[in-house]
Amino acid sequence: MQATNQARSPRNILITGGAGFIGSNFVHHWCGQYPGDRVVVLDALTYAGNRNNLVDLEGKANLRFVQGDICDRALVDQLFQAENIDTVAHFAAESHVDRSILGPGAFVQTNVVGTFTLLEAFRQHWMNRGKLESDRFLHVSTDEVYGSLEPNDPGFSETTPYAPNSPYSASKAGSDHLVRAYFHTYGMPTLMTNCSNNYGPYHFPEKLIPLMCINILLGKALPVYGDGQNIRDWLYVGDHCSAIDTVIHRGQPGESYNVGGNNEVKNLDLVHTLCDLMDELAPDLPIRPSRELITFVKDRPGHDRRYAIDATKISTELGWTPSVTVEVGLRKTIEWYLSNKDWWEPLLSEEYKAYYQKVYA
């Protein structure tokens, strides 16, 4: 859905992490919806960041890409000032739970210290601009901050107590608390979204859906953690982008909004669906049926059993609802991976192989 039909003033938006999975989808979304806006992307290009995610936007006059770290206060100050930024959409993060188990330090640095750096820089800049009511700082967070649900528990709502279980979710929870505090203490116009699992184009192949799609294409084992009965609530990435757009334009400063697709699926069922869709859509697979590749592997330590989102607040207060069903979204996603081998093949680098070895050996 379109987030706003009303006349709007152009914005100067800083999108952090705009070369990552969701961030790059959001850059495409924003440039498509608001072609008159100034868009500045700040991304450190870690292993998860990829300039190719934005290649079709290269040369666009009002889009600027800056390679840099959100922890670099001088750089952030300079960008806020030089570009007269009035809106921040903050995606930059270390985002993979398995990597946070292997090495939590980078998660605390980027997710906590990086978010704090951005908040401090924006506070100074917002004060310099005269504390404009229309300015926005939108922090993109996750449902993982709420911990794990029992089978019959209702979905996470905005009042569910925080109970993060992994270094990743604990670092995101820390950043969420800082964002909340900047509204309550300084009146800064912060907003937050806590979203469930995304899938779609430009998804780095360490996460479940792209990893399974690529392994099927390569005839490699499909590693399912534990008994495969963990549940995730899947949302097509384009719907997450429209939700963030909606919150920036219509959300109430100081509020958080849970975003989800109402698509709870057990991991093993999801992998079965991906195998069946691949068997249908991919012309020459090394192993067929793909289900033969499924292998149960050692469980992720501290693996959360179930996530589910209650998205009543964003739907009733802001009028946002998801537009893509999981059936349609998965088919679109597989078609994208089939037509974009040139995008994903270079990502299976030596670094990726070393990481894969550590997690799956």
| Residues at the contact surface with ligand DAU, assessed by CB under 6 A | 95-97, 142-144, 196-197, 207-208, 211, 223-225, 230, 232, 267, 300, 307
Spatial distance between the Cα atoms of 197 and 147, rounded to a whole number of angstroms: 14
Residues 6+ apart with CB under 8 A from 188: 119, 122, 123, 126, 137, 182
Which H or E element spans position 195? strand 190-195
- Do 111 and 142 touch, CB atoms closer than 8 A? no
Question: What, of ligand DAU, ligand NAD, none, does residue 146 touch, CB below 5 to 8 Å by kind?
Answer: none
Binding of residue 23 to ligand NAD (CB under 6 A): yes
- Do 200 and 236 touch, CB atoms closer than 8 A? yes
Question: What, of ligand NAD, ligand DAU, none, does residue 140 touch, CB below 5 to 8 Å by kind?
Answer: ligand NAD
**Active-site choice (168, 199, 257, 337):** 168
The interface region with ligand NAD, picked from 68-76, 81-89, 291-299, 317-325 by CB under 6 A, is 68-76
- Of the candidates 80, 70, 110, the one whose C-alpha atom is nearest the C-alpha of residue 13 is 80
Q: Name the closest residue to ligand NAD (Cβ).
A: 20
Query: Strand 63-67 to strand 231-233: parallel, antiparallel, or no bridges (unpaired)?
Result: unpaired
Min CB(305)–ligand DAU separation in Å: 9
Burial class (CB in 10 A: 0-12, 13-18, 19+), 162: middle
Q: 3 vs 93, which CB is nearer to ligand DAU?
A: 93
Residue 183-202 contact track with ligand NAD, rule CB under 6 A, x = bound: ------------x-xx----
For 130-147, letters b (16+ CB in 10 Å) and e give eeeeebbbbbbbbbbbbb
Min CB(267)–ligand DAU separation in Å: 5
Instruction: State the residues that interact with ligand NAD by CB under 6 A.
Output: 16-17, 19-23, 42-46, 48-49, 69-71, 91-95, 110, 114, 140, 142, 172, 195, 197-198, 204
Catalytic residues: 143-144, 168
